[in-house]
Structure 1
Amino acid sequence: MSIDLSPTSADLSNWRTAPFSRWAFHNIRAILPAADIESAPGSAWPLPASPVAFEDFGVRLPKGGTLDLDGFLKATATDGLLILQDGRIVFEHYDGGTDRDTPHILMSATKSITGLMVGILAGRGEIDIDAEVTRYVPEVAATAYRGATIRQLIDMRAGIVFDGAGLQAYADASGWEPAAPGTTPNLHDFFATMRAQSAPHGGAFSYVSSNTDLLGWAIERATGRSFASLVSTLLWKPMGASGEAFITLDRKGAPRCTGGFCATLRDFARLGQLVLSGGRRGSHAIIPEAWLDDIRHNGDVQAWRDGQWRDSFAAISRNMHYRSGWYVTNDAPQLMFAMGIHGQNLFVDAANGIVIAKLSSWAQPVDGQAIWLTHQAVAEFARSLKATA
């Protein structure tokens, strides 16, 4: 008996494992249900090109040796890399079947988009970030989420503690794994019946992906509109996104606001440029500038230092915080970034006017060496651009 290991044989049982993942990550619609997020190709944010060769690019390895640009791209299983400086494309690269028009899954970089949506809605008076989530989703009043605020959800400071069975139940509900015959596990039912333990809310940083999926439910309840339509109307179209975009859905149609956003590399970069531009496209304010300033400056550094990932990120920075779905390193130059498993990243270096969008297909969900290499490369791109100025 032979087993088909061709990438195009990816399905719900294997789509996040190599070798199937590299094809699956840019063919999500073949595997998962999704809701369209409309773009605005007729009014796309222009991205003029000013190519830079990066001939002197080099990332020094801890044990000796240096990776040139091509070596870095291969070592970090890069599907797409786009670098903007002052709003112009200085480098653009595709591999693994991804191209300019291909929507690729952003994984947990989706959390950063959800965080921006909360900021937009809060600015419009449509959601109260200091309200308890039960105001919008009373179904969770008897669960560990009781007493948690919207702010604590987006900052990963809700006191939710899952055991192995709880994590599996959440995974089953997401729709990203096969369901047992005759069952339709889904996110809303999961939240209403979850049995996670509760720790005090507002404590140390604790990364719990379900927080952002619950936030998606709260957003839809607060507004009476689908998450996909809100993103399209309030963010994606005004920003001038031009390509195909969508978000995966569970078996009952709830959006995967923690990890299911799929977009083209150029539109991912446009999002970074919008953040760098203070939430404005020209004279049009899209994201409240105060919300972005809050992300950059008001995260709780002590909550990060007391949290679960302090040691994991120590080689990158010991001076970090997490705010509204975004990571911020407070070393000079301050770096604001979105991050998803298997190597999805969006970096915003406001001091140098640089945006870097990277899509990847790492074999492992979390690859410490690839994370370190990527951050080293971000610094090296900034150095190289200064040298060519």
Structure 2
Amino acid sequence: MRPTEIMRGSPPASEAQVTRANWRSFPAIRWGFTHTREVLPTAEVRRSASPTPMRSAPRELSKLGFTAPDGQPTTVEATLRETFGDALLVMHRGTLIHEWYGDGMSATTPHLICSISKSIAGTLGGILAARGLLDLEARVVRYVPELESSVYGGCTVRNVLDMAVAIKFEEDYEDPAGDVARYRFSSGWDVPPPGVEASHQRAYLTTLRGTGKPHGKVFHYVSTNTEVLGWVYERACGMPYHHILSEYLWQPMGAEEDGSLTLDSHGMGRIAGGLSVTARDLVRFGEMIRCRGVVEGRQVVPGWWIDDIHENGDPKAWADGDLAEIFPGARYRSKWYTMDPSRNDLAGIGIHGQWLYIDAASDTVIVKLATQPKAMDVPLDHRWLAAFRAINAHVAPR
């Protein structure tokens, strides 16, 4: 079945229906990622009453050629077509120079951004710290004492921000009975099989245990760390995460459209991966990061927080961690990747092909959204990194 046939008809044919059982499986994912509010319960992330203006000066980039990592010549257009692309936006020095949408997408269509949600949560941490609401060196249990007997009982907020928690958890998206599967049952994203209790996220987080090794030494990518971070924020601010995000970041940034956050059965948001926003608002967010937290002359995110992300990722923790072979020489800080320290770039990355790439060297921000069939597809990630670098070189030649 073609993706364009999904959810067509009144009612759709059974094989064309998208449900909680199949919404992240291809081809249903093409509809599920742009209609998440119709699949799962969600909370609204309110837009700004005064959206930040979007300057536009289109340039032809679709025919731009580059060499893929396998040595084959290709183009941006072909790469979008061959990697299940849904949107590609390129902003250079604050001006939108390229805007492309695939079937079912437009400038106002929300799209699930998966773990780019983490980078947004990490950015929010700097705002809360600057306002005196959050102590980064405090133990997590200062805010959430319910986690005392879990792995999080001995770690700090900074450990959680940097994915440096010594936790027994394998982020394996393909294991139907693994840690990620149990986590998804608790978040409401997946329907548990008969005999398996769904529980809810906060209860699930209290069950997680450590390796016995010290925290803060090794990068270990685990999505539940960001759920804990969101719980900490809620206790620090006295309000639900989606309200914190709206009040402190999304509205001050000048978002044009409402976003949404998926909720579990007890109303806790999926902070690590449950945000849906438009590609335009995501590129606005990226441009704010490029400008050290400034939007239209307003300091929304502290500049020192952006500087800290650029400068203080631990290269040894990365080298000893999960993803060093996939992205050699990278760094990680406050939920952001630095892919190439020589360029001082930053990236937010989500499964199924979501990218927010900010290149300081060329003053460029790129948003690429997709619905790749595989959660992790490393060759496609490397192909897109090559595309991003070709775009950067084309718009800002040295």
* Shorter-normalised TM range: over 0.9
Aligned residue for 2:112? 105
Counterpart of 1:117 in structure 2 is 124
For the residue of structure 1 that corresponds to 2:365, the secondary structure is strand
Q: Given the superposition, is the C-alpha separation of residues 278 and 195 from structure 1 closer, same or farther in structure 2, using an over 3 Å criterion?
A: closer
User: Is the 2:62–2:77 Cα contact (8 Å) retained in structure 1?
Assistant: no
1:7 pairs with 2:20: no
Work out the CA distance in 2 between the residues paired with 1:194 and 1:77: 35
Structure 1 window deviating more from structure 2 (276-285 vs 265-274): it is 276-285
Deviation at 1:96, TM superposition (A): 2.7
Segment drifting more, 69-78 vs 245-254: 69-78
Confirm or deny: 8 A CA contact 1:79 1:94 kept in the other structure. Answer: yes
Q: State the Cα distance separating 1:7 from its structure 2 match.
A: 2.5
Corresponding residue of 2:215: 201
- Pair 1:62–1:167, CA change in 2 (3 A): closer
Question: 1:196: Cα distance to partner?
Answer: 5.4
Match of 1:212 in 2: 226
Q: Distance in 2 between matches of 1:279 and 1:56?
A: 33
Asked if structure 2 preserves the Cα contact closer than 8 Å seen for 1:115 and 1:324, the reply is yes
- Tell me what 1:365 maps to: 375
1:293-337 residue CA offsets vs partner (Å, 9 max, x unmatched)? 000001101100111110012xxxx32110000001244322101
Structure 1 stretches of at least 4 aligned residues deviating more than 6 Å after TM superposition: none
Match of 2:185 in 1: 172
Distance across 2 between alignment mates of 1:141 and 1:6: 49
CA distance in 1, matches of 2:302, 2:86: 32
Residue 294 (str. 1) matches residue 308 (str. 2): yes
Query: SS of the residue aligned with 1:145?
Result: helix
Classify 1:62/1:374 alpha carbon distance in 2 versus 1 (closer, same or farther; 3 Å). closer
Greater shift after overlay, 44-53 or 159-168?
159-168
**Aligned equivalent of 2:84:** 77
What is the alpha-carbon distance in structure 1 between the residues aligned to residue 118 and residue 68 of structure 2?
31
Q: Deviations over 1:197-235 (max 9, x none)?
A: 443211210001100001111110111011111111111
Change (3 A) 1:210 1:248: same
Instruction: Look up the match of 1:32.
Output: 40
Change (3 A) 1:252 1:6: farther
In percent, how many aligned pairs have the same letter?
35
Aligned to 2:13: none
Deviations 1:253-304 (Å, cap 9, x if unpaired)?
0011100011000000000000011101133111010000000001101100
Q: Does the aligned pair in 2 maintain the 1:118–1:127 contact within 8 Å? A: yes
**Who is 1:146 aligned against?**
153
CA distance in 1 between partners of 2:271 and 2:69 (Å): 37
Paired residue secondary structure (2:276): strand
Counterpart residue type for residue 201 of structure 1: H
- 1:19-75 deviation line (CA, Å, top 9, x unaligned): 0001110000111111101101x4111111111113661121344431122101112
CA contact (8 A) 1:84 1:91 kept: yes
1:327 aligns with 2:341: no
Q: Is the contact between residue 192 and residue 198 of structure 2 (CA under 8 Å) also seen in structure 1?
A: yes
Alpha-carbon distance between aligned partners in 2 of 1:271 and 1:136, rounded to the nearest angstrom: 28
Aligned residues between the structures: 381
CA root-mean-square deviation: 2.0
SS in 1 for 2:396: helix
1:185 to 194, 199, 210: 199
Change (3 A) 1:221 1:70: same
TM-score using structure 2 length? 0.91
SS at match of 2:306: helix
Distance 1:60 1:293, change over 3 A: same
Provide TM-score, normalisation by structure 1: 0.93
The gaps in structure 1 that reach 5 residues or longer are none
Whole-Å separation in 1 of the counterparts to 2:349 and 2:4: 29
Cα distance in structure 1, aligned partners of 2:33 and 2:364: 26
1:338 match: 348
Q: Which amino acid aligns with 1:13?
A: A
Structure 2: segments with no counterpart, 5+ residues: 8-16, 171-176
Could you tell me how far apart the structure 2 residues matched to 1:12 and 1:56 are? 38
Cα separation, 2, equivalents of 1:242 and 1:184? 35
Tell me what 1:308 maps to. Answer: 322
Is the contact between residue 69 and residue 386 of structure 2 (CA under 8 Å) also seen in structure 1?
A: no
Q: Please say which of residues 197-206 and 79-88 is displaced more in the overlay.
A: 197-206
Distance 1:330 1:84, change over 3 A: same
For the residue of structure 1 that corresponds to 2:115, the secondary structure is helix
1:89 aligns with 2:96: yes
Task: Describe the shift of the 1:62–1:346 C-alpha distance in structure 2 as closer, same or farther (beyond 3 A).
Answer: closer
Q: Which residue of 1 aligns with 2:67?
A: 60
- Measure how far apart 1:184 and its partner are: 4.8
- The answer for the alignment partner of 2:393 in structure 1 is 383
Offset, 1:162: 2.4
Question: Distance in 2 between the 1:5 and 1:44 partners?
Answer: 32
Query: Are 1:22 and 2:35 an aligned pair?
Result: no
Partners of 1:123 and 1:49 in 2: CA distance = 33
